[in-house]
Structures are given as C-alpha cells and as structure tokens.
Amino acid sequence: MWPCAYGRDPARAAFQRKVCRVGRCWQRPVRLPPGGCLLDADIVAALEEQVCRAAAAIGIDPATVEPAVRRSDFADYQADLAMGLAKRLGKPPRDIAAALIATGELDDLCAEVAVAGPGFLNLTLADGALSERLIAAARDDRLGVPNHDPTHRVVVDYSAPNVAKEMHVGHLRSTVIGDAIVRLLDFLGHEVIPQNHVGDWGTPFGMLIEQLIEDGEQATAERLSVGELGSFYQRANERFTSDPDFAERARRRVVALQAGDEETLRRWQLLVDASERYFSRVYDDLEVRLTPEDLAPESRYNPALPQVVRDLESLGLAVESEGALCVYPEGSTGRDDRPLPLIVRKRDGGYGYATTDLAAVRHRTDDLDADWLIYVVGAPQAQHLAMVFQASREAGWLGDDVRVDHTAFGSVLGDNGKMLKTRSGKPIRLADLLDEAVQRARTLIEEKDPDLPADEREQLARAVGIGAVKYADLSSDRLKDYTFAWDRMLSLQGNTAPYLQYAHTRIRSVLRRAGAEEVLPPADVIHVADPAERALALQLLGFGATLDQAAELLQPHRICTYLFDLASTFTTFYEACPVLKAGSAELVASRLTLCALTGRTLAAGLALLGIRAPARM
C-alpha cells in the first residue's frame, strides 16, 4: 500500500496532527500494525489518509486541510474538501476535485471516484477493500476495533448515592451512564478507575444517628440493608423538625461525629455499612460493574481537608469573607456580577462539599495518577464543578495535561413533562422501578412465549426489563431531559433494547440452523454485490469509528444510534438476501459471515451499554 516509514511521511504526520486537533491527542490516530497496512476496520480513517495524500500530491500542505470524509447518500463515502480550498487556490472547486482524483492516491481503496455537485468527491469503495476489512473484523476478537492510542488513566466518578437515603432515578442516570462510559473506555484500552463518591458525611448524620439510637441498631441495620432507607430518613427528618429536644441532640451528635467520638463513629459506620450492602444489591440488579472496591465515599477525604485549606491559604487563593474562608475561581460570577465564592471552610470551622471535591481532585491526580477525570453528575451541578475545576487549576492540582469532563445529564420526566415522581409526589425508588421493569417484561414474555421454562423466562425477563430501562436512559443525548415511558422502552419496534435484542436472537437463530453458532471461520470472500449486502458491510465497518466518537464526546447514545441503524440495515439485508438458501455455497458462507459479524457487533455494542444479548427470545 504505502511505505512503512510513517514517522517521516508528511501526509501521515499531517493526518495524525489532524486527528489530534481536538487538543491533547484525545482522539485516536490511525494505528499502524507492524505489517504496514491498516488492519483497522475503520475505513473512514484510511480514506481520510488517502485524501491527505492526494492533497499533498497537488501541492497542498495536508496539515492545513480537513479531509472531511463521511458516509454519503450518493456513493459509499464522500470527501468535501474541494469547496473549502477553492478560494485559497483560486480555482473552481470542481477542478480541484478533479485534480485530487487525478493523483491516483484514492485508487487503492476506491473502485470509482467522481466529482459531483459543486465539488463533492463521491467515493465508491472497491469490493475487495470492503471484503478484506470485513474478514479482518470477523477474525478479530475485538471486531477490528484497535485500542485507543495513547491510552489514559481515567477516573470516572458516578452513581454517588447517599447513605441512609433512598436511591432514585437521578442515581439511575448517573449509574447507567457512568457504567457505559467505564465499559467503553475500558474496551478501548484505557485504564479506568471507577470512583463511587458516596455521600456518607455531613450534618444530616446527626439526626440519622439519633434516629438509629431511637429505633435500635439491629432493627435499623436490617431495614437499611433491605432498602428501607427512605422511610428511615423521613422519620429522622420529621423528628428533627417537630421535636426540639431531638433536634438539639442531633446537633450535638454532629459535633461528636466531627470530633471523632468513638461511639458516635461506630453508629455512623453501622449506617454506612448497611446502606452500602443495599447499594450493592441494587447494582447487582442493575447489572452494573460497580463493586465495594470502587467506593470512595466523602468521609475518606476528611483527613486531607485541613491540608487542602492550608495549601489554598498559602497559595493566596483562599481569603476570609464574613467569617468563612473562600476561594474565588476566575470566571464565575453571581448576583450583581460579584465573584462567586467556593466556601472551603465554613464560619463554624467545618468543611463542606467544596473542600471534599477539591481533596478528591487532588487524590485523583496525585495519588491515582489519572490524566483524565470524568464526573457523571447531573447538569444542575455545572457551576459548582466548573468552580472546583477552576480552583484546582489555579492551585496547580490540575495540570494542563489533565483532561476534566463534567459529563452532565438532564432529568427524567414523567408523561406530564415534570420530574418523574409517584402519584403522591414522592421520588420513585430506583429498586421499585427496576422491579416494575422486570415484571412488565415478564408479562410480555408470558404473552408471547408461554411455553418458555420458568427459569429461562426469569432470566429473559431480567435481560429485557433491565435492558429496556438502561437503553431508554442511554439512547438519547444525556444532556437533555428524557421522558420516561414504559410502553416505548419495552416496545419491539423502534430504537429500544428489546428490538436490538430480538434482532440479535434472529441472527443467532440463523447461525444455529447453519450449525455455525459456536465457531464460524469467516468466508474467503465477502460478497457485496447486492445493495443490501453492501449497505450492511459499510455499516459494520463503522463500529470502531462510532466507539471512538462516543468515547471522545462521552455520549453513549451514539452507540445506540449506531446499533439501531445496524439492526435496521441488517433487517433489510435479511429480507432481501436469503442466507441459508443463497445460490452457491460460497454465497452462503459470505452471508453467514455477515450475519455472524452483525450478531457479534450487536452483542458487543449492547455489552458496552451494560445490556445483555440473550441467544433466544
């Protein structure tokens, strides 16, 4: 294809700079296997490189052009760079496009390159190039998706429930989105460190511990472990507001807790332990990867807080105001354009969550040595986090080489357009929501497939019900609010988990019939003559690029959109192209390979979202 001396190749160097343009090499440059040709299934990257090469050949510095290759309605792909070059070169864009074609650089991969419209380059791939890459992907455990290069050490902060407080739909979003991001970045080769920033400290623990004393330790621990957190918290709160004696005891209890009183700490620990047992159960039900090892609760930072404050003072960043110690990060203003404070030490000498968050940043960069911090936290926290990040930058705790993202998400709304609540206006317990999801899935399965053995039905109900809830949460842009609707998310039609799961089982069924379910050596050649075959082939080869984009933008919904398109494209193929009854043995093998690759890609994509792909439904 082209020489191996990539390091000195100006077109490649320029192309790599191009893909790194986001700033700090967060995007993946094309990886070069030792053999010197691209095994990477990502054909867009290969085409872009050839376009850069063509640009260089007509005397354009490839570092200064955007190859702009994308899927096209008019050909397999299109490159849109000629129009942008017209003014610079003082030539009509169609002439430039023609000159790019004339270099012959695109001939390796393309059977046909044509100028269209104002100067689009319509690229039609050579069948051989498609076939070759499909076979490489089919042979590869990773479906032709290379590791990201360079890889990063990434802290993902997500879920973050509160001790002795019910988990609700807000935690659902953080947990599900965070889990998908963890799985995705892990798959792409990054070293991922999940951090569950559990809320286990603060003033409410005074009343919670007093309530524990009133209810009895044994009984409270038992109730909390099985998820009766909401009623416990509520009772404590009611006592606190209605009984001045209780409130006074609670206030004294906070002081004792902060002072490290042993007996108080023991009771606090009891609340923490019982709650964490419950969280683990919910995580198991949700089928997310979070484990007790990932716990990094707020209290763990307590010992570091005085030092954080001392350092901020000695750096001259923290100043006293109205008795409190404040940092004023650049760029944040509140009412009357006054700078907004981050209160790092309260008037009473205590520390709030800002200080804890600063300590956490420090721990993650210094001790965990992360160079990428991801906070999967609701959108309302945007200003707070921006201030924490800015203060950390100013304090030198976040270097320029560390990327930080607030991966914000919107609210879950009911069908009334308001925040999802029960009819009585209370927040919906996450655990109840999951139970209902499984129950609804079970009912559907009983209707459609009454003969299924009970244990299989239960497994399936879990896979479908939990998958539906998670997929509904992941499939639209996380930043927007989303409307929760059982019927939509459990539908077999549309962009839903059950639809994808069903598409996957249909594929598995074909493979079963072919006796090829376990091992399927790929065909020697993949036929892409039929438009439906070709469309499927092109879609399959876009998997890696989709994952890269989803990871770069931290948008799991891009994976969903891709998988739905893949399933739709497959369906069209499946209708148009007989597989087992194709004309020749060769064609059967080719189409079976397409089926197998599609099935594996669907399963892999769903797995990255934390959703199971059962073999039968």
Partner RNA sequence: GCCCUCGUAGCUCAGGGGAUAGAGCACCGGUUUCCUAAACCGGGUGUCGCAGGUUCGAAUCCUGCCGAGGGCGCCA
Query: Minimum CB separation from RNA for residue 610, in Å?
Result: 18
Query: Minimum CB separation from RNA for residue 527, in Å?
Result: 14
Q: Which is nearer to RNA, 30 or 408 (CB)?
A: 408
Amino acid code (one letter) for 352: G
Residue 427's closest CA among 161, 205, 176, 239?
161
Residue environment code for 488-527, b if the CB has 16+ CB neighbours within 10 A, otherwise e: ebbbeeebbbbbbbbbbbbbbbbbeebebeeebebbebbb
455 is an interface residue for RNA by CB under 7 A: no
Looking at 25, 44, 58, 86, which residue binds RNA (CB under 7 A)? 86
Q: Which is nearer to RNA, 94 or 277 (CB)?
A: 94
494 is an interface residue for RNA by CB under 7 A: yes
Q: Which is nearer to RNA, 37 or 580 (CB)?
A: 580
Q: Name which of residues 200 to 219 contact RNA (CB under 7 A).
A: 201-204
Q: Which is nearer to RNA, 32 or 51 (CB)?
A: 51
Residue 279's closest CA among 183, 182, 198, 377?
198
Distance CA 205, CA 348 (A): 17
DSSP state of 380: G
* Tokens linked to 91: 């030539």
Looking at 579, 587, 597, 606, which residue binds RNA (CB under 7 A)? 579
Distance CA 541, CA 561 (A): 15
Query: Minimum CB separation from RNA for residue 452, in Å?
Result: 7
C-beta neighbour count of 586 within 10 angstroms: 13
Distance CA 124, CA 74 (A): 9
Q: Name which of residues 319 to 338 contact RNA (CB under 7 A).
A: 321-324, 326, 333-338
Looking at 575, 583, 584, 585, which residue binds RNA (CB under 7 A)? 575
Amino acid code (one letter) for 612: R
Looking at 31, 403, 421, 488, which residue binds RNA (CB under 7 A)? 488
Beta strands in 102-190 (DSSP E): 110-116, 120-125, 153-157
Query: Minimum CB separation from RNA for residue 125, in Å?
Result: 14
Is residue 305 within a helix (H) or strand (E), and if so which, with residue range?
A: helix 305-314
Query: Minimum CB separation from RNA for residue 42, in Å?
Result: 16
Query: Minimum CB separation from RNA for residue 170, in Å?
Result: 11
Rounded alpha-carbon distances, angstroms, from residue 400 to 101, 392, 540, 577: 41, 11, 37, 53
Query: Minimum CB separation from RNA for residue 572, in Å?
Result: 5
Q: Name which of residues 226 to 265 contact RNA (CB under 7 A).
A: none
Distance CA 331, CA 312 (A): 18
User: Do 147 and 124 meet the contact criterion of CB atoms below 8 Å apart?
Assistant: no
Name beta bridge partners: 155: 193, 373
71 is an interface residue for RNA by CB under 7 A: no
User: Do 194 and 178 meet the contact criterion of CB atoms below 8 Å apart?
Assistant: yes
539 is an interface residue for RNA by CB under 7 A: no
What is the rounded end-to-end Cα distance, in angstroms, of the chain? 45
DSSP state of 365: I
Query: Minimum CB separation from RNA for residue 545, in Å?
Result: 12
Looking at 99, 574, 593, 600, which residue binds RNA (CB under 7 A)? 574
45 is an interface residue for RNA by CB under 7 A: no
Q: Which is nearer to RNA, 310 or 513 (CB)?
A: 513
Looking at 187, 246, 397, 482, which residue binds RNA (CB under 7 A)? 482
379 is an interface residue for RNA by CB under 7 A: yes
What torsion, rounded to 10 degrees, do the Cα atoms 564, 565, 568, 570 define? -110
Query: Minimum CB separation from RNA for residue 207, in Å?
Result: 11
Q: Name which of residues 100 to 159 contact RNA (CB under 7 A).
A: 116-118, 120, 122
Q: Per CB under 7 A, which region of 128-136, 280-288, 342-350, 603-611 contacts RNA?
A: 342-350
353 is an interface residue for RNA by CB under 7 A: yes
Q: Which is nearer to RNA, 225 or 568 (CB)?
A: 568
Q: Per CB under 7 A, which region of 36-44, 67-75, 223-231, 604-612 contacts RNA?
A: 67-75
Distance CA 513, CA 511 (A): 5
532 is an interface residue for RNA by CB under 7 A: no
Is residue 473 within a helix (H) or strand (E), and if so which, with residue range?
A: helix 454-474
Place of tokens 């639809």: 499
Q: Which is nearer to RNA, 289 or 506 (CB)?
A: 506
Q: Per CB under 7 A, which region of 32-40, 235-243, 409-417, 427-435 contacts RNA?
A: 409-417
Contacts of 592 (CB under 8 A, 6+ apart): 510, 511, 514, 516, 520, 523, 579
Q: Which is nearer to RNA, 230 or 410 (CB)?
A: 410
414 is an interface residue for RNA by CB under 7 A: no
500 is an interface residue for RNA by CB under 7 A: no
C-beta neighbour count of 457 within 10 angstroms: 17
Looking at 74, 292, 435, 529, which residue binds RNA (CB under 7 A)? 74
The residue count for binding RNA (CB under 7 A) is 104
Residue 598's closest CA among 45, 138, 273?
138
Q: Which is nearer to RNA, 98 or 340 (CB)?
A: 340
* Tokens linked to 328: 């004023």
Distance CA 304, CA 469 (A): 39
617 is an interface residue for RNA by CB under 7 A: yes
Looking at 92, 410, 414, 427, which residue binds RNA (CB under 7 A)? 410
Distance CA 441, CA 422 (A): 21
Q: Which is nearer to RNA, 373 or 587 (CB)?
A: 587
Looking at 244, 417, 425, 515, which residue binds RNA (CB under 7 A)? 417
72 is an interface residue for RNA by CB under 7 A: yes
Query: Minimum CB separation from RNA for residue 420, in Å?
Result: 11
572 is an interface residue for RNA by CB under 7 A: yes
* Tokens linked to 614: 């059962």
529 is an interface residue for RNA by CB under 7 A: no
Distance CA 388, CA 294 (A): 22
Looking at 275, 407, 505, 593, which residue binds RNA (CB under 7 A)? 505
Q: Per CB under 7 A, which region of 53-61, 306-314, 491-499, 597-605 contacts RNA?
A: 491-499
User: Do 181 and 281 meet the contact criterion of CB atoms below 8 Å apart?
Assistant: no
502 is an interface residue for RNA by CB under 7 A: yes
Main-chain phi, psi angles of 26, to 5 degrees: -80, -15
Q: Which is nearer to RNA, 397 or 482 (CB)?
A: 482
User: Do 224 and 232 meet the contact criterion of CB atoms below 8 Å apart?
Assistant: yes
| Contact characters 281-300, RNA, x per CB under 7 A | -----------------x--
